[in-house]
Amino acid sequence: MAAPVQRLAAELEGGAAAAPEVLRRLAGLFREAEHREDADEKLFSILRRLLAEASGGVQTEAEATDASPSPWCDLSAECFRCLRNACVQCARNQNAIRKAGLIEESVSLMTVFSSIGDPAEPCLAAFRCGLQFLGNVAGGNQDSQNSIWNVAFPQLFLSCLTHSDEKVVAYSSMVLFTCMGEDKMADVTAPGNLSLAACVVATYSKRTDIEWLQLIVTERFLRYPDLVRQIYSSLSHSDRVTLLELLMVKMSETGPLGTEQLASVQAVAEFLSECFQNQCRSVLSLASPGHCDEQEAVVVIRLLDVLCELTSDNQHLTCLQNYPGLLEMAVETLRLTHLAGKQSRNIFTSTHSASLGQDLTHAAVGFKAHLIRLIANLCYRNRDNQDRIYELDGLPLILDNCTIDDNNPFLNQWAVYAIRNLTEHNERNQELIASLERQGLADTSVLERMGLHVDERDGKLVLKSTKKM
């Protein structure tokens, strides 16, 4: 007696008219692993023929302004549901489907769907099911992933990522992530294909709830410093912010990095350091009441956030401590923002009662505190950088920021931490702070909070710890 799958396959040979109902029954059977094993090449050959008929029908009717492709869309959707279920955790069916040419036929039909403006729900349902099918046939199957990539990259992916339907975007992102293995990155980075990588970031900035887009950036793109440079250069300011925020997500992951991955992160860190130095002065525009475009300033703020996180990790600290110009630019930017806050009342002005009416969600809130945090990290157990701060006259500047500031939460704490790092095993910096205290330029309470006080010994001022050894 013929198995249920074979009986339904025979019914499908009767043509497209009764096919949707038969396909629904087949899709139901394929939810069970035992029935998936009963599928054969003949069934998949029939499904390809039905999809080809549906593709032609959708194309013809979509081109006619007074016609609805709904019946053909219904047939397409049922074919895709059947195929989607048939290849769940079934390498045998995945391979048979690929060999039957169903991947090429499916991508061809979805290309038609992607070209339909303002599609009706039946078209959307078929489109979504087709993408789910591609995701299932690619799962754990390198040969199927290659086949999809060869016919869908980059145009179908671009069309799907910019589609108005969120599920189409989400499902296509899943397929893209699944197929984009190490061997595909040469295609992604090739001249002319950069638009796909930029599109992923731009789409995520609008649809941050789609995790697949995040994974494409954090698990694929960020491993290639040259690609990061290219993407960053091609993005708008707002999309650059999105890329930097995704980088922060990646850095929040714990655990040591391998040699190759560490080298990639450090190369990206050096690139971002260069970007910060080139753009950091734009943040001063936020001090002007009439500034109209603050997006570039927000990019600088996010760059600083990333550099603070990178320098908080010993794996990345050394490369940035030695990066030319970074420390100097951090001190110069702190000096300029501090001065801007004193010249007029603005977001960089220290305040103890939020009397400026500033919203604590303002992008620049915490900017000075983070500058001091970066300086502190760059000087951590680094004598050359400690001495460079002395030469830049940075110690009085940092001491002047040992205050409570509503616009800079934890400013005082970061300043104290910076002084601690600047004076550790550095007598010249200790002597300078002691002399500033004698002159009344350093707040004695700050030193006390650090566990230090100034003593005079043989006519020389020295810092001493108040803690018992």
CATH number of the domain to which 422 belongs? 1.25.10.10
In a domain, 280, yes or no: yes
331 and 343 both lie in a single domain: yes
- Cα distances (angstroms) measured from residue 465 to each of 4, 46, 81, 424, 444: 85, 85, 73, 12, 13
244 and 271 both lie in a single domain: no
- Helices (H) and strands (E) counted in the chain, each on its own, are 26, 2
- Give the number of other CB atoms < 10 A from CB of residue 284: 18
In a domain, 106, yes or no: yes
309 and 330 both lie in a single domain: yes
Cα 130 from Cα 165, distance rounded (Å)? 14
What distance lies between CA 102 and its chain's CA centroid?
Answer: 33
277 and 408 both lie in a single domain: yes
Across-strand partners of 452? 465
In a domain, 459, yes or no: no
In a domain, 275, yes or no: yes
Question: Tell me, what's the pLDDT at 117?
Answer: 84
Cα 25 from Cα 292, distance rounded (Å)? 60
Residue 51 burial by Cβ neighbours in a 10 Å radius (0-12, 13-18, 19+): buried
Phi, psi of 365 (to 5 degrees): -60, 125
Contact present, 452 and 461 (Cβ < 8 Å): no
Instruction: Average the pLDDT over each of 1-5, 39-43, 69-73, 225-229 and give the range with the smallest value.
Output: 1-5
Q: Which residues of 375-400 are buried (b: 16+ CB within 10 A; e: fewer)?
A: bbbbbbebeebbebbbebebbebbbb
pTM, to two decimals: 0.87
- Cα distances (angstroms) measured from residue 223 to each of 101, 182, 243, 245, 355: 34, 10, 13, 16, 45
20 and 160 both lie in a single domain: yes
| Whether the predicted pLDDT of 71 surpasses 70 | yes
Q: 3-class SS at 32?
A: coil
154 and 284 both lie in a single domain: no
Contact present, 399 and 338 (Cβ < 8 Å): no
Number of domains in the chain: 3
Last-in-domain residue among 126, 153, 178? 178
Question: Tell me, what's the pLDDT at 192?
Answer: 87
In a domain, 320, yes or no: yes
- Residues 6+ away with beta carbon under 8 Å from 206: none
- Tell me what the mean pLDDT of segment 113-129 comes to: 92
279 and 345 both lie in a single domain: yes
Distance in angstroms between the alpha carbons of the first and the last residue of the chain: 90
- Model confidence pLDDT, tens digit, residues 210-245: 999 999 999 999 999 999 999 999 999 999 999 999
Q: 3-class SS at 419?
A: helix
399 and 384 both lie in a single domain: yes
Is the dihedral angle over the CA atoms 380, 384, 390, 391 positive or is it negative? negative
In a domain, 256, yes or no: no
Q: 3-class SS at 462?
A: strand
Question: Tell me, what's the pLDDT at 469?
Answer: 35
48 and 105 both lie in a single domain: yes
Last-in-domain residue among 162, 178, 194? 178
Last-in-domain residue among 119, 143, 178? 178
**Which candidate, 198, 229, 218, places its Cα nearest to that of 261?**
218
Residue type, 400: D
In a domain, 255, yes or no: no
- Model confidence pLDDT, tens digit, residues 84-113: 999 999 999 999 999 999 999 999 999 999
Question: Tell me, what's the pLDDT at 287?
Answer: 86
Contact present, 291 and 240 (Cβ < 8 Å): no
Show the domain range for 429: 265-434
82 and 200 both lie in a single domain: no
269 and 387 both lie in a single domain: yes
In a domain, 39, yes or no: yes
276 and 194 both lie in a single domain: no
- Model confidence pLDDT, tens digit, residues 344-390: 888 888 887 644 445 556 788 899 999 999 999 999 999 999 999 99
**In what helix (H) or strand (E) does residue 143 lie, and over which residues does it extend?**
helix 142-152
| Whether the predicted pLDDT of 406 surpasses 60 | yes
Question: Tell me, what's the pLDDT at 255?
Answer: 72
Q: Does residue 308 or residue 446 have the better pLDDT?
A: 308
